[in-house]
Amino acid sequence: MKMQPRTREQVNEFLGKTFADSPLTPGPVERIFFNYLKNWLGRKIDDSERRKIREVAKESYDCEWQKSGCDTHTYIKEAERRIGLIGNEGMNQKLAMMVVPFIINMLNKRRENRKIRIFEIGSGSGDTAYSILYAMRMECLEAIKHCHLITLEPAYAKVEEEDLIDSSDTKGPRKESNIAVMAAKLRQLPHEFRPKWTPVGDVFESYMASVTPGCFDIIVSGSAMHHIPDPRYWYILRDKIAEDGVIVFADWFTKIFSHPGLLVPTLRDLEISEAKIRKYEDFFGLEMNEYLAIEKGFIPEQVKSLEQMRSYIKHLSDELKLAGKARMQRDSELLLFEGHHSHDETIRAAEEAGFSANKNDIICHANVSPTIHTRYNVNQGSDISTVFALVPRKRKSRRPLPMPKQQVLKI
Ligand SMILES: C[S@@+](CC[C@H](N)C(=O)[O-])C[C@H]1O[C@@H](n2cnc3c(N)ncnc32)[C@H](O)[C@@H]1O
């Protein structure tokens, strides 16, 4: 369904008025807009909007940081459990299982004596990286010391009162920076088997502009790419990955943001008043409950994943209410941000940017339940938490692979 193009002024007016007194503050709503500008504005994004996206990325990152804490993670886990999703933790294990054979293969093929550069986007307190190292420890311990791990995490610099990290290697929650928690995880490996490690405290948008093309062999990310608002991120990744590299991502996907109408049932679940929902529908020129007609155009798998996402958001909202926290209202703003792109859009964007979407090259696992591990049709991407691997399509000319200029931290 085609949207009427909107000007920036119209969008700003909408942000100012419609949500002025709703549970959603303009910051996160603005982020939704900038994430989905292409879909929601019905036109291409211009340069000034792109600059704005970068600013919004930083602002909304800071805003999320203020709101989330280890209690938020507890509620997320409970909501995942209730609807039978394996969630971040399970996805990390699957990601690790997928990435290790690529690492071994790459090491076997490489003639030059240099480390395999594994770049992680959004490493948080290191669970994704640790899952990979754990899997390597089981399968190819020796290979670890041939790896250079570069972990990107904007929160490295932050330690705050509410940043209580419940880490499995400590007794009870503690207050420590993500970088320290990750360092402790790496220290669990015998000294001679630790990887070279470069932690980078920055957001994707600015860090990627500073590194040289083709410099990463393997790029991984666990539940973080949906936080990246730059709609060109696949092009950036294609530029920075080695020609024989591979990307392995685990993330959340949803169709919800592919059309503004699809968000209406969720706004109801979040108990936004009917009057405001009507305003929202008016702004986008939607008929009342138009989402029902939009959904009719979806294949059953897409409807299923849409329902899964709604159900997940609803459960999470209920969890927060049950907890009755004073911070609940603010936390509830987070709910809309799990999964920003749909799976089919993601694969299409990757293909446009120069990754192979050839079925033989894509490995993809839907996480329908903790026990079922299926290979499935990537074009119909149905489940909201999915792990997949993509390789770059071959280019004619090969570029050299210079080192990223970053300091190495002793661990
Ligand atoms: C859900 S956590 C995942 C952490 C870890 N990979 C795991 O699976 O446990 C998402 C991470 O993405 C990071 N993040 C958010 N926005 C980002 C951005 N613009 N650039 C890089 N990382 C970002 C957050 O700080 C957060 O640590």
Neighbouring residues of 149: CB distance < 8 A, sequence distance ≥ 6: 118, 120, 129, 195, 196, 197, 198
Establish whether residue 155 lines the binding site of ligand 1, counting it when its CB lies within 6 angstroms of any ligand atom: yes
Query: Can you read off the two tokens belonging to residue 242?
Result: 């080695």
Which residue minimizes the CA distance to atom 16 of ligand 1? 227
Domain 87-252+341-390 top-level CATH class = alpha beta
Is the Cβ atom of 123 under 6 angstroms away from ligand 1?
Answer: yes
Model confidence band, residue 308 (pLDDT cutoffs 50, 70, 90): confident
- CA 240, CA 237: separation in Å to the nearest integer? 5
Q: What pLDDT score does 166 carry?
A: 44
**Ligand 1 center to residue 286 CA distance, Å?**
34
State the distance from the centre of ligand 1 to the C-alpha of 154, rounded, in angstroms: 8
For the chain, the domains span 8-82+255-337, 87-252+341-390
Say what the pLDDT of residue 12 is: 67
Please provide residue 164's backbone torsions phi and psi, each rounded to the nearest 5 degrees. Answer: -95, 115
Q: In angstroms, rounded to a whole number, what is the distance separating the alpha carbons of residues 294 and 1?
A: 7
| Phi and psi torsions of 115, nearest 5° | -70, 155
Q: Is the CB of 53 under 6 A from ligand 1?
A: no
Query: What residue's CA is closest to ligand 1, atom 9?
Result: 127
Is residue 171 predicted with pLDDT exceeding 80? no
Mean pLDDT taken over the chain:
75
147 lines ligand 1 (CB under 6 A): no
User: Looking at residues 138-148, what average pLDDT do you find?
Assistant: 92
| Average pLDDT of the segment spanning 256-267 | 83
Whether ligand 1 lies within 6 angstroms of the CB of 387 is answered as no
- Mean pLDDT calculated for residue range 93-113: 88
Q: Is the CB of 126 under 6 A from ligand 1?
A: no
Q: Is 95 in the pocket of ligand 1 (CB under 6 A)?
A: no
| Greater pLDDT, 272 or 106 | 106
pLDDT for residue 247: 93
Residue nearest ligand 1's atom 11 by CA: 122
Helix axes 87-109, 127-139, angle to 10 degrees: 50
Q: State the pLDDT confidence band at 216, using cuts at 50, 70 and 90.
A: very high
Q: Is the CB of 143 under 6 A from ligand 1?
A: no
Gap from CA of 164 to ligand 1 centroid (Å):
16
CA 298/CA 248 separation, integer angstroms: 27
Residue 232: per-residue pLDDT: 81
**CA-nearest residue, atom 19 of ligand 1:** 203
Q: Is 49 exposed, middle or buried (0-12, 13-18, 19+ CB in 10 A)?
A: middle
Amino acid identity at 271? E
**Beta-sheet pairing, 147-152 with 116-121:** parallel
pLDDT of 123 reads 93
CA of 332 from ligand 1 middle (Å) equals 18
Residue 173 has pLDDT above 50, yes or no: no
Is a pLDDT exceeding 60 seen at residue 190?
A: yes
User: pTM (2 decimals)?
Assistant: 0.81
d(CA 326, CA 320): 10
Check residue 381 and give its pLDDT.
46
pLDDT confidence bin for 40, thresholds 50/70/90: low
pLDDT in the model for residue 373 = 35
Which residue has better confidence, 3 or 91?
A: 91
φ, ψ (nearest 5 deg) of residue 187: -70, -15
Reference 144, options 176, 188, 174, 178; nearest CA is 188
Mean pLDDT of the 217-237 span? 88
Residue nearest to atom 24 of ligand 1 (CA): 122
